[in-house]
């Protein structure tokens, strides 16, 4: 993070760059970028289905595979060894880095960036129990990703069960995030690395979610909610604000003693209640 | 998740679909599946070692690499850009999606599904300290995965040190799970996304382990154990049941005060003890 | 983990093999290794930029892509379907397994091992807010990885913003670790699976960090610090030692009661204080 620590958001740990000089810097930063200018071409080693359409201004790198009826719009870059499934749409000026795997029926908007190792559209985790075994529920919903979304490296976004998983406009996802089937992430929400969101949860707009946060399934998170690192969200959040869980770090030996006490906490609270009652009885 | 929230397991967050209509739906869901019927062929761009054997009914996609003495059984699909190492066995009717990397000496049973970005058989994390440095312990055990296992996207399953890492029949693994060397996962256990299991731990049969759970090394978990999201298991569990850890989510400011108190918990408990003794002394 | 449980480090869960027999075993383990001896060659399907230099003793596998001005030193192995970006340097005797993606301007030292699915040099997660949207801060720093580093499967190490992200000599990283931009990891530190380190944090030398640990941004961790599994480090650690956070595992029903009490902990502590004052008043 290039910003000074004191500018980092104290709650989420996501760096918020708030002053105009930084915005100027962000704008200037593009001048030093490592990306080569787009070279419209289809590498001779790419394998493109005859029914796919690739705009002539796109750059398709070595060993890319593009499936049936896929559409690659103008100005798109697809990095080496990436796979685009059947019926996918990659919107204009999007950039898919090397080694990305996109399953069939995934639509990306314009100016979407996807980093290496990311997988979009794998089957959601759905099974019906039957005689102590699991029966697979096939996942026929796809994934819909809107304009101006950036997705980090090693992210997994599962396809929906019947309707699609949805990432709205301007969402920014850091590395190694897991997004389960039928999740909806609202516009301009930013999520830091290693966070996981379970099935069908709906995250509001302009939320900031720090790293390693867990969000269980079927929840709703209000717009403008902020979650701090490694918190577990297991109920819906209906009111904007900052939320946390966890115990904070301690020296290991001291922590061991406190953990023992945590497990007796309900009992301790009852003992305090008894002491208070005894005191009340005496003073009455 | 397509099921209604009230049907999701309240403890693990894994959706349990319990009524016959859902089983019927699971069965019907296959009709709407995105997978194309298998087309027996070996793509011209695939690189297959001369000593490997590939059944004529298998479909080998573009840029697949298959190592020496590997065996690909009948009805197998291997997606684009996947790599199958030397001496691997891929059982009948298994399906390896695109961009999967399987190291040498990994055996998959029949009807195994492996999603994109998953790595099976990388070296376990083993080092011997020597003069303040780490000396690599080479990992010669492989991985054995039984029939009807499904493995999500971006999962890593390490090879064993001397004997193999083992995934038993019918196990279902969600995305981004980490399974260290010499772990054993019992039949029909289901594990949700981002969970990590450290070396040599043995998970029982028919367990459900929610997302982001950590299980430290060398433990045994009893059959039919259920672990809730983001719990840390650092001791063996000998009795079936539901287990949890963590503090629950709170507004950030309130949480900060409680975290301070958590660190004083042992001291607080001692102070309550003193109050109780004082009261006993007085009433005697 | 091949070592006996009692030899595993009790604090970090990382297996520490402390006796000479184990060092002997580590040395011998190489004899049983699955890796084939290096076969100097460039596979016919590899795509190598004309300005790249590849030492004649290196082995470049099928479908590898090597970018402009990249340098591959003597004795290097690059596995199938891996991508090496422009201006990268891969030091002598390094081994890149299959399906690794390395972005431009990443330098690896000698004898570095990188396992499958790992991504090195993707953009750090940096954005400037502007009118409730996020403006991308382009990341022009690269990554510098020193000699004798081993990196597990599915790891992501982001490029720095202006200066590089740095992994020092002898560092060992397990699977699915996330290292954000401008992090520095000190010599011979070992980190277990699924741990995440946020931007600009600086980890000392010879630390052991267990699995699923979260380290927030802009921190400094002292040399020889040990962190136990699933701890969250949100402040700098200036003194070597062992540190932990979390509550420990409990039966779910008991845990639910204690979690309710945790949220009342500050209030409980105040009530104990009142009881103590009442007692003092009485005995005075």
Number of domains in chain B: 2
Considering only residues B165 and A22, tell me which one the structure prediction assigns the higher pLDDT: B165
Residue-level pLDDT at B64: 98
Residues of B within 8 A of A258 (CB-CB) are 262-263, 265-266
Q: Cβ contact (<8 Å) for C33 and B138?
A: yes
Q: What is the mean pLDDT of chain A?
A: 93
Residues of B within 8 A of C25 (CB-CB) are 128, 137
Indicate whether A62 pLDDT > 80: yes
On whether residue A18 sits in a domain, the answer given is no
Residue B108 and residue B88 in one domain: yes
Q: Any bridge partners for residue B60, and if so which? A: B42, B78
Whole-number Å distance between alpha carbons of C134 and C137: 9
Whole-number Å distance between alpha carbons of C74 and C15: 33
Token pair belonging to C232: 């969250």
Residue-level pLDDT at C100: 98
Among C26, C22, C60, C28, smallest CA distance to C43 is for C60
Instruction: List the chains bordering chain A where 3 or more Cβ pairs fall under 8 Å.
Output: B, C
Whole-number Å distance between alpha carbons of A163 and B155: 25
Residue-level pLDDT at C2: 35
| Confidence bin at B5 (pLDDT 50/70/90) | very low
The Cβ of residue C202 has, within 10 Å, a number of other Cβ atoms equal to 16
Q: Cβ contact (<8 Å) for C135 and A263?
A: no
Indicate whether C109 pLDDT > 60: yes
Residue-level pLDDT at C277: 93
Residue A262 and residue A195 in one domain: no
Label the pairing between strands A71-72 and A65-66.
Answer: unpaired
Token pair belonging to C23: 């060092």
Q: Cβ contact (<8 Å) for C214 and A206?
A: no
Model's pTM, two decimal places? 0.94
Q: What percent of chain A has pLDDT over 90?
A: 85
Domain range spanning residue B190?
Answer: 41-243
Residue B171 and residue B149 in one domain: yes
Residues of C within 8 A of A152 (CB-CB) are 122-123, 125, 156
Residue C193 and residue C257 in one domain: no
| Confidence bin at A8 (pLDDT 50/70/90) | low
Residue C82 and residue C178 in one domain: yes
Burial class (CB in 10 A: 0-12, 13-18, 19+), C97: buried
Q: How far is CA C60 from CA A231, C74, C82, in A?
A: 44, 12, 9
Instruction: List the chains bordering chain C where 3 or more Cβ pairs fall under 8 Å.
Output: A, B
Indicate whether C4 pLDDT > 60: no
On whether residue B19 sits in a domain, the answer given is no
CB of A110 closer than 8 Å to CB of A91: yes
Residue-level pLDDT at C281: 84
Report the residue of chain A nearest B114, measured CA to CA.
A122
Residue-level pLDDT at C26: 85
CA–CA min distance A21, chain B (Å): 30
Residue B87 and residue B210 in one domain: yes
Q: Strand, helix or coil at B190? A: strand
Selecting from A99, A105, A245 the residue whose C-beta is nearest the C-beta of B250 gives: A245
Indicate whether A1 pLDDT > 60: no
Residue C152 and residue C263 in one domain: no
Average pLDDT for residues A173-186, to the nearest whole number? 98
Average pLDDT for residues A119-139, to the nearest whole number? 94
Indicate whether C7 pLDDT > 70: no
Q: Cβ contact (<8 Å) for A152 and C125?
A: yes
Reported as a single tens digit per residue, the pLDDT across A211-230 is 999 999 999 999 999 999 99
Average pLDDT for residues B234-241, to the nearest whole number? 96
On whether residue A36 sits in a domain, the answer given is no
Residue C81 and residue C175 in one domain: yes
CA–CA min distance B110, chain C (Å): 24
Indicate whether C18 pLDDT > 60: no
Q: What is the mean pLDDT of chain C?
A: 93
Residues of B within 8 A of A196 (CB-CB) are 176, 193-194, 211-212
Report the residue of chain C nearest A98, measured CA to CA.
C101
Report the residue of chain B nearest A241, measured CA to CA.
B251
Q: Cβ contact (<8 Å) for B63 and C61?
A: no
The Cβ of residue C224 has, within 10 Å, a number of other Cβ atoms equal to 16
Q: What is the mean pLDDT of chain B?
A: 93
Q: Cβ contact (<8 Å) for B8 and A180?
A: no
Residue-level pLDDT at B44: 98
Q: Is the ipTM of this complex over 0.85?
A: yes
| Confidence bin at C12 (pLDDT 50/70/90) | confident
Average pLDDT for residues B163-168, to the nearest whole number? 98
Reported as a single tens digit per residue, the pLDDT across B205-227 is 999 999 999 999 999 999 999 99
Indicate whether B16 pLDDT > 90: no
Reported as a single tens digit per residue, the pLDDT across C237-273 is 999 999 999 999 999 999 999 999 999 999 999 999 9
Residue-level pLDDT at B31: 87
Average pLDDT for residues B64-80, to the nearest whole number? 98
Interface contacts A/C by beta carbons within 8 Å: 269
Report the residue of chain B nearest A155, measured CA to CA.
B154
The Cβ of residue B284 has, within 10 Å, a number of other Cβ atoms equal to 5
Residue C150 and residue C225 in one domain: yes
| Confidence bin at B10 (pLDDT 50/70/90) | low
Q: Cβ contact (<8 Å) for B176 and C176?
A: yes
Which of B54-58, C181-185, C277-281 has the lowest average pLDDT? C277-281
Report the residue of chain B nearest A45, measured CA to CA.
B45
Which residues of B are designated catalytic? 181
Whole-number Å distance between alpha carbons of A166 and A185: 6
| Confidence bin at A16 (pLDDT 50/70/90) | low
CA–CA min distance C172, chain B (Å): 8
Average pLDDT for residues A185-203, to the nearest whole number? 98
Selecting from A63, A118, A234 the residue whose C-beta is nearest the C-beta of B81 gives: A63
Indicate whether A284 pLDDT > 80: no
Reported as a single tens digit per residue, the pLDDT across A30-53 is 888 999 999 999 999 999 999 999
Q: How many Cα atoms are found within 13 Å in the side-chain-facing hemisphere of C103?
A: 29
CA–CA min distance C109, chain B (Å): 17
Residue-level pLDDT at B3: 39
Considering only residues A284 and C7, tell me which one the structure prediction assigns the higher pLDDT: A284
Residue-level pLDDT at C67: 98
Residue B256 and residue B215 in one domain: no
Average pLDDT for residues C208-226, to the nearest whole number? 98
On whether residue B10 sits in a domain, the answer given is no
Active-site entry in C69, C181, C218, C252: C181
| Confidence bin at B23 (pLDDT 50/70/90) | confident
Q: Where does chain A have alpha helices with state H?
A: 20-29, 252-262, 265-283
Q: Cβ contact (<8 Å) for A261 and B255?
A: no
Whole-number Å distance between alpha carbons of A42 and A59: 6
Residue B96 and residue B175 in one domain: yes
Token pair belonging to A143: 């994934």
Residue C260 and residue C227 in one domain: no
On whether residue A111 sits in a domain, the answer given is yes
Q: What percent of chain B has pLDDT over 70?
A: 93
Q: Cβ contact (<8 Å) for B127 and C275?
A: no
Residue-level pLDDT at A26: 85
CATH code assigned at C100: 2.160.10.10
Q: How far is CA B93 from CA B36, B57, C244, in A?
A: 14, 10, 46
Average pLDDT for residues A107-131, to the nearest whole number? 96
| Confidence bin at A17 (pLDDT 50/70/90) | low
Q: Cβ contact (<8 Å) for C140 and A27?
A: no
Whole-number Å distance between alpha carbons of B216 and C204: 24
Whole-number Å distance between alpha carbons of C206 and C218: 19
Q: What percent of chain C has pLDDT over 90?
A: 85
Selecting from C45, C263, C266 the residue whose C-beta is nearest the C-beta of B248 gives: C263
Average pLDDT for residues A147-172, to the nearest whole number? 98
Q: Cβ contact (<8 Å) for C103 and A34?
A: yes
Average pLDDT for residues B183-202, to the nearest whole number? 98
Residues of A within 8 A of B259 (CB-CB) are 246-248
Token pair belonging to B89: 């066995």
On whether residue C55 sits in a domain, the answer given is yes
Whole-number Å distance between alpha carbons of B65 and B45: 9
Indicate whether B4 pLDDT > 70: no
On whether residue C12 sits in a domain, the answer given is no
Active-site entry in A181, A218, A226, A252: A181
Residue-level pLDDT at A89: 98
Q: Which of A118, A183, A221, A232 to mutate to test the interface with B (most CBs of B within 10 A)?
A: A232
Reported as a single tens digit per residue, the pLDDT across C113-172 is 999 999 999 999 999 998 889 999 999 999 999 999 999 999 999 999 999 999 999 999
On whether residue C29 sits in a domain, the answer given is no
Q: Cβ contact (<8 Å) for B115 and A122?
A: yes
CA–CA min distance B88, chain A (Å): 23
């Amino acid at each position: 993070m290039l910003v000074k620590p004191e500018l980092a958001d104290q709650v989420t740990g996501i760096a918020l760059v708030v002053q105009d000089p930084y915005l100027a810097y962000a704008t200037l930063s593009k001048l030093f970028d490592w990306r080569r200018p787009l070279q419209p071409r289809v590498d001779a080693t790419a394998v493109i289905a005859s029914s796919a359409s690739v705009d002539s201004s796109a750059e398709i790198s070595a060993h890319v595979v593009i499936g049936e009826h896929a559409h690659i719009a103008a100005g798109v870059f697809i990095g080496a060894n990436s796979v685009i499934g059947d019926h996918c749409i990659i919107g204009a000026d999007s950039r898919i880095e090397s080694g990305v795997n996109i399953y069939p029926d995934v639509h990306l908007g314009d100016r979407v960036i996807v980093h290496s190792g990311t997988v979009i559209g794998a089957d959601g985790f759905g099974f019906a129990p039957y005689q102590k075994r699991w029966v697979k529920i096939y996942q026929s919903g796809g994934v819909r990703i809107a304009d101006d979304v950036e997705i980090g490296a090693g992210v997994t976004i599962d396809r929906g069960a019947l309707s699609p998983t949805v990432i709205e406009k301007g969402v920014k996802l850091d590395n190694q995030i897991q997004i389960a089937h039928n999740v909806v992430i609202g516009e301009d929400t930013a999520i830091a690395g290693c966070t996981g969101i379970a099935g069908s949860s709906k995250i509001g707009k302009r939320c900031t979610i720090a790293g390693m946060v867990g969000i269980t399934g079927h929840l709703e998170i209000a717009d403008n909610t902020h979650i701090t690192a490694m918190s577990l969200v297991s109920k819906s959040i209906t009111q904007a604000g900052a939320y946390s869980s966890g115990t904070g770090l301690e020296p290991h030996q001291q922590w061991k003693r406190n953990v023992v006490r945590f497990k007796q906490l309900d009992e301790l609270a009852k003992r305090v209640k008894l002491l208070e009652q005894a005191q009340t009885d005496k003073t009455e």
